Amino acid sequence: MPPSLDPTATISLVTGANRGIGREVCRQLAALGHTVLLTGRSFEPTEWAAEELTRETGREVRPLRLDVTDEASVAAAVGQVAHLYGRLDVLVNNAGIAYDTWQRAVTADLAVVREAAETNLYGPWRMAIAFAPLLRASAHPRLVNVSSEAGSLASMGGGTPAYSASKAGLNALTRMLADEMRGDGVLVNAVCPGWVATAMGGPGGRPVEEGAASVVQAATLPDDGPTGGFFRDGSPLPW
C-alpha cells in the first residue's frame, strides 16, 4: 500500500540526520514502526543513510534533501510531505552546528555567532512555522527541539558563545511554541541528549544510542505528556 494511503503510519521527520544523533534517532523511530523522513543538506549521504537504515530496520526510511537555513528548501520539503502523507506526526529539529570551544564571548567572531544562530535557532524556527499546518493535521503531533544544557541560563558560564547563545534562544522558542500550539494538541519540548560521542561532541561522551533515546522519548510521548519542558533522559532540566 502506498505510504500516503496508510492512515496508521506515524510520519516522523528528523533534520540533520545522515549521521550522529539524528541518524540514530531515525533508526530508533523506524524500529518503533514509524515511517521516517531522514533529511540532510547533501542528498547522496542522506540517501545512503536512509537505505542503510531501511535494510537494518525493515521499515521505510525515506531520504529527503533539506537545508534548514534555506527557505526554498524547507518549502519544497513541506510540499513533498504534504503530497505524500497530508500530515506530519513528529518533527525533530536536530540539525546543529558550531560547538565553538575556541571562542569567548568578549572576543567572539560575530560571523560565527550569526552562522550558528541561522542553523541552531532560525532553522528550527523556520521548520516550526513551515510545518505547523501539517502538524496540526496530525492526531498526535509532537515537536522536539534538540537543545543542550549549554543553553541553560541556570548553569551558563563563559565559553562556546555561539553555541550556548543559540541554544538558549532555542529553549526560549520551545517555550513560546509550546504555549501557542497547546490548543492544537502539539506537544513541544526541548531535549538535551547530553555529551554524546559524535563528530561534534568528540570522543569520551556517552554512546549515541543513549543520547538519541532521550530524543525519541520526547518524540513518542503519550497525549497527556508534558509540553513546554526541557529534559534529558525524561528528567527535567533547569532553564
One-character DSSP codes across 2-66: -GGG-TTPPEEEESS-SSHHHHHHHHHHHHTT-EEEEEESSHHHHHHHHHHHHHHHSS-EEEEE-
Asked if 193 contacts 207 with a C-beta cutoff of 8 angstroms, the reply is no
- Would you say how long the chain is, in residues? 239
3-state secondary structure of 230: strand
Residue 188's closest CA among 131, 149, 150? 131
Residue 103 CB neighbours (<10 A): 19
163 is catalytic: yes
Choosing from 85, 99, 122, 163, the catalytic residue is 163
CA distance 103 to 111: 12
Cell 525519541: give the residue: 216
Distance of alpha carbon 164 from the chain centroid: 17
Residues labelled catalytic: 163
